[in-house]
Structure 1
Amino acid sequence: MTMAATMQAPTDQSLTSLVLDAAIAASRLIMAVYARPITAITKADGSPVTEADAAAEAVILDYLRPTGIPVLGEESVAAGIIPTLGERYFVVDPLDGTKEFIKRNGEFTVNIALVEHGVPVLGVVLAPATGETFIGDASGAWFCSTQDGIATERQRMAVASASRPRIVASRSHGHAALAALCETLDVEADVSVGSSLKFCLLARGDAQLYPRFTPTCEWDTAAGQAVLEAAGGAVVTLDGARMRYGKHDLAFLNPYFVAASSEALARQAAAEMTRLLA
């Protein structure tokens, strides 16, 4: 009797390719649902869910299973399935921006990240409606199109500074302190977009600041954080520390945070957010 070989995780680039393939497969399924009438139900936390959410997560899990790496998935958690995560695990939001999906405005994404020792080190954010795809890993941050199901040649991305920052706000969420923050930081313009695309606009240099005054979960942010940090940006909580993952005792809820094109701007905004919320 021979012992089964221990499953080894792929190398970094092959792992990135696997995650990208999983996101493309999920995107194809999501767009098939998008093409017909959408039925949504309300989850226990009050958020909407459609048949695309669970089906896309199932496809992603099938792709990731051979790695042997645990997966923290939004729909799995909603069903009470939370694996033992350890120091290395995937974080999956199969359809981030379900409200945008239902509204049919195209601003929804597939998010897949790899977390190691509490920080996201690999992330793919794919917008199924447009094919816009953002990748962040140890090699840097990259943009490509997957509209035809095949990734085009990757283009490198990097954050861009600005004397007057552009701020990314959410169409579906808001906070009374946002206007005051914009005034204090002399924000030039508001670039409103849904889902984790907010992180990606910062990574591409289209905006510089994304303050978050409302609740998010780890699967909402992990992939976007990986992309932004790979592009040279920063994501910090209001105490100025890098936002971390694996908060099982908090039901994987994130504290308020700010994402920015630089750590200095992130810390400045975090301090101002703290003052405004006091």
Structure 2
Amino acid sequence: MFLSKLLEPVKAAAREAGATLWQMYQSGDFQQQQKADQSPVTTADLAANRIILNCLSELTPDIPVISEESYLVPLAQRQDWPRYWLIDPMDGTQEFVARSGDFAVSIALVERGWPALGVIYWPKEDVLYYATRGHGAFKQQRNLINRIKVNQHQAGTRLKIAISRRQPLQPIIDLLQTEQAADYIALGSCSLKSCLVAEGKADCYLRLGPTGEWDTGAVHVIVEEAGGKILDSEFMPLSYNQRDTLANPDFIVIGQTSLAWPELIKARRTERQLTT
């Protein structure tokens, strides 16, 4: 009941932040700089961040927030939080700057160490993906709402693999265990590629390279409620709020969980320490 009451206000917050991103994207009225990790951040990221923080502080003033674009509370202070908001005000900043339109707002509520509510908003397409734990995953485009499910892959058919627009393809090809041909679907934004799996347009998404927990939090519950999973590169579950930096390992978003994924995709050793 608690989650269902939060869902519509969170969807509204994502739309409001997304509208601001889209206006700044269309006008070109934003500035860009580099963060300490050399990743880009823009004044649009910061504007969306302020909108979401304001909305959440009014909605749930007693629930703390972790955002990619805000000061990160030290692990010792946050590791026992029973619940918290986990947000990425703009997932796909590089796509925003590159003018592809493939960027999204991501808002998750994490309860007892696991995502329980997730909302992804794609301003370019005016599409919302959302889910609450135990109640299914949905795609809303304008006023049309459909429940989404992962694809049931047919034996002998080509795998459909979601990939980044801006990463080399060969490292992904090298992870395939067999000579089986695959179709590659290029899209920006980590969360949007994961949503391709959730709605059955891709069988999996292989993510190599740095991401943060805010890149997977919202989409994690969406993928799971659609019938899939997000696992690290050793096919083990991801974890939340157990590391100083909140950095994710490489991971794979899988659709049909009954497929023998270790026979299709090579496992890669990943760093699994609780602190870094």
TM range (shorter): 0.7 to 0.9
SS in 2 for 1:111: strand
Do structure 1's residue 140 and structure 2's residue 136 form an aligned pair?
Answer: yes
The structure-2 alpha-carbon separation of the partners of 1:204 and 1:185, relative to structure 1 and needing over 3 Å to count, comes to farther
Aligned to 2:109, which of 114, 118, 132?
A: 114
Q: Which amino acid aligns with 2:51?
A: V
SS in 2 for 1:245: coil
CA-CA distance at 1:17 after TM superposition: 1.0
Alpha-carbon distance in 1 for matches of 2:264, 2:232: 7
Contact 1:210 1:258 in 2 (8 A): yes
Do structure 1's residue 101 and structure 2's residue 92 form an aligned pair?
Answer: no
CA-CA distance at 1:61 after TM superposition: 0.8
CA-CA distance at 1:173 after TM superposition: 2.8
Alpha-carbon distance in 2 for matches of 1:90, 1:184: 40
SS in 1 for 2:70: helix
Percentage of matched positions with identical amino acids: 36
Do structure 1's residue 177 and structure 2's residue 177 form an aligned pair?
Answer: no
Q: What's the CA shift string for 1:170-225, capped at 9, x where partnerless?
A: 11234643112246272430001111111110011000111122111001111111
Q: Which amino acid aligns with 2:151?
A: A
TM-score, normalising length from structure 2? Answer: 0.86
Query: What are structure 1's unaligned runs of at least 5 residues?
Result: 1-9, 147-151
Q: What's the CA shift string for 1:220-263, capped at 9, x where partnerless?
A: 111111211110101111332221211333x0001111110033
Alpha-carbon distance in 2 for matches of 1:266, 1:223: 26
* Alignment partner, residue 219 of structure 1: 214
Count of residues in Structure 1 that have an aligned counterpart in Structure 2: 259
Aligned to 1:44, which of 36, 58, 78?
A: 36
Do structure 1's residue 189 and structure 2's residue 180 form an aligned pair?
Answer: no
CA-CA distance at 1:264 after TM superposition: 4.0
Aligned to 1:53, which of 24, 45, 48?
A: 45
Contact 1:237 1:270 in 2 (8 A): no
Do structure 1's residue 245 and structure 2's residue 240 form an aligned pair?
Answer: yes
Contact 1:247 1:253 in 2 (8 A): no
TM-score, normalising length from structure 1? Answer: 0.86
Alpha-carbon distance in 2 for matches of 1:199, 1:113: 14
* Alignment partner, residue 73 of structure 1: 67
Alpha-carbon distance in 2 for matches of 1:63, 1:269: 45
CA RMSD in angstroms comes to: 2.3
